């Protein structure tokens, strides 16, 4: 199993996603002889998981059922253990696009955190690219190495435990892109410039506060970066629903329908709007926004090495 290569069958040691519903799923490490408890009953790894195809419908001990999904960076983002605040797919998608990443790209990242963005970056640059990720916190760095090894992507990533503001990324003039998610990104702009290739490399800084953005932009300008711009991504989700609305009373609707020879007994006229006039409502499909939406997450500042 690998987060960047699809496998047909579930094997011992794989990380799989147990899907109970759109709002209910969790990761599980498949191990021979182990059981997993769900609200629908027990899943026995040896008989219910190992050897089965990903996407299979598995019946639990209480008669309920779940789906077992192959892990992807998107599913991992929704289910990973949080060691820090993480980036979600809304921001991740624009980051990978604006950094112009593709298979074979070299990327530097700081900090690693819970590895949400890291998995997406690795999948984007695979199979010939590489991610150099720096984490200040030693335990988080060790946990990230362990996860990358379990997820089959350790050959595509190098995890370093150091202070990027003081020691940089450990590479020079090789990176196609640099991503910063640290409290004081302006202190790491010089190291980011050194890590980027000679010309045309892209940089992105994620900051929750506009004051951080201001200082970062000034530092980018001082180090000769061009095309500096900041944006914010807000996601508004719409659900497709059936809506009933009252038809306005426009006067003599029934008389108008009779005057044009409308025959409700005629099958060709069944279900027409005129039929609904007597009921006073009409139903149709519409996109309805959720009552709540995700607000501000952070500002994304992009720039290009001149």
134 and 19 both lie in a single domain: no
Is residue 125 in a domain? yes
| Structural domain contains residue 137 | yes
The whole-number pLDDT of residue 276 equals: 47
State whether 105 and 151 are in the same domain. Answer: yes
Residues 90 and 224 in one domain: yes
> Which tens digits make up the pLDDT trace of 164-209?
999 999 999 999 999 999 999 999 999 999 999 998 899 999 999 9
pLDDT band at 156 (very low <50, low <70, confident <90, very high): very high
Task: Output the known binding site for S-adenosyl-L-methionine.
Answer: 114-117, 135, 163, 181
More confident residue, 294 or 76: 76
pLDDT per position as a tens digit, 254-302: 555 554 454 545 555 554 444 444 458 889 899 989 888 888 999 999 9
Q: What are phi and psi of 161, to 5 degrees?
A: -105, 100
- Binding site listing: 114-117, 135, 163, 181
Q: Is the pLDDT higher at 271 or at 304?
A: 304
65 in any annotated domain: yes
78-117 pLDDT, tens digit each: 999 999 999 999 999 999 999 999 999 999 999 999 999 9
**Across all residues in the chain, what is the average pLDDT?**
91
In a domain, 45, yes or no: yes
CB burial string 198-224: b at 16+ within 10 A, e below:
eeebbbbbbbeeeebbebbbebbeebe
Q: Give yes or no: residues 134 and 149 share one domain.
A: yes
CATH number of the domain bearing residue 62:
3.10.330.20
Give the pLDDT of residue 280. 80
pLDDT digits (tens, 9 = 90+) for 35-65: 999 999 999 999 999 999 999 999 999 989 9
Instruction: Report pLDDT for 296.
Output: 92
Give the confidence band of 1 by pLDDT, cuts at 50, 70, 90: confident
Query: Within this chain, do residues 50 and 92 fall inside the same structural domain, yes or no?
Result: no
Q: What is the mean pLDDT of residues 8-13?
A: 95
Give the long-range contacts of residues 255-263, CB within 8 A, separation 24 or more.
Answer: none
Of the three residues 23, 43, 71, the one that is the final residue of a domain is: 71
pLDDT at 159 over 90: yes
Do residues 82 and 173 share a domain?
yes
Structure tokens at 181: 């998610």
Radius of gyration over every alpha carbon of the chain, rounded to an integer in angstroms: 27
CA-to-CA distance for 89 and 185, rounded, in angstroms? 22
Instruction: Give the model's pLDDT for residue 40.
Output: 92
106 and 121 housed in the same domain: yes
Q: Which pLDDT score is estimated for 253?
A: 53
d(CA 73, CA 216): 29
Q: What is the CATH number of the domain that holds 175?
A: 3.40.50.150
User: What is the rounded CA–CA span in Å between residue 298 and residue 286?
Assistant: 31
Cβ(282)–Cβ(208) under 8 Å? no
Domain count for the chain: 2
Which residue range forms the structural domain that includes residue 21?
A: 9-71
Same-domain check for residues 123 and 13: no
In whole angstroms, give the CA distance from residue 207 to residue 164.
Answer: 16
What pLDDT is attached to residue 274? Answer: 45
The residues pairing with 205 across neighbouring beta strands, listed in sequence order, are 180, 301
In a domain, 207, yes or no: yes
247 in any annotated domain? no
Per the model's pLDDT, the better-predicted residue between 293 and 213 turns out to be 213
Can you say whether the dihedral through the CA atoms of 175, 179, 184, 189 is positive or negative? positive
Residue 248 is predicted with a pLDDT of 80
Torsion of CA 7, 13, 14, 18, to 10 degrees: 140
What is the dihedral angle through the alpha carbons of 136, 139, 141, 144, rounded to the nearest 10 degrees?
A: -150
Within this chain, do residues 24 and 143 fall inside the same structural domain, yes or no? no
């Amino acid at each position: 199993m690998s987060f960047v290569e699809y496998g047909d069958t579930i094997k011992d040691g794989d990380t799989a996603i147990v899907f109970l519903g759109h709002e209910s799923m969790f990761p599980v490490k498949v191990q021979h002889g182990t059981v997993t408890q769900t609200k629908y009953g027990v899943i026995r790894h040896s008989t219910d998981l190992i050897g089965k195809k990903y996407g299979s419908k598995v019946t639990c001990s209480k008669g309920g059922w779940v789906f077992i999904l192959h892990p992807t960076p998107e599913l991992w983002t929704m289910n990973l253990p949080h060691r820090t605040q993480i980036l979600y797919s809304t921001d991740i998608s624009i980051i990978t696009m604006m950094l112009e990443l593709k298979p074979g790209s070299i990327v530097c990242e700081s900090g690693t955190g819970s590895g949400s963005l890291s998995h997406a970056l690795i999948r984007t640059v695979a199979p010939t690219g590489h991610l150099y990720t720096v984490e200040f916190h030693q335990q988080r760095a060790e946990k990230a190495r362990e996860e990358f090894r379990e997820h089959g992507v350790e050959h595509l990533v190098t995890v370093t435990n150091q202070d990027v503001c003081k020691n940089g990324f450990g590479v020079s003039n090789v990176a196609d892109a640099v991503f910063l998610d640290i409290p004081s990104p302006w202190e790491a702009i010089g190291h980011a410039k050194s890590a980027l290739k000679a010309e045309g490399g892209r940089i992105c800084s994620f900051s929750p506060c506009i004051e951080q953005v201001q200082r970062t932009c000034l530092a980018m300008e001082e180090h000769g970066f061009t095309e500096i711009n900041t944006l914010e991504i807000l996601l508004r989700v719409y659900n497709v629903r059936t809506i009933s609305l009252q038809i306005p009373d426009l006067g003599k609707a029934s008389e108008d329908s009779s005057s044009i020879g409308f025959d409700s007994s005629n099958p060709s006229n069944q279900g027409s709007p005129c039929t609904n006039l007597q009921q006073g409502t009409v139903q149709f499909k519409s996109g309805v926004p959720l009552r709540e939406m995700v607000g501000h997450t952070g500002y994304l500042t992009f720039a290009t090495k001149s």
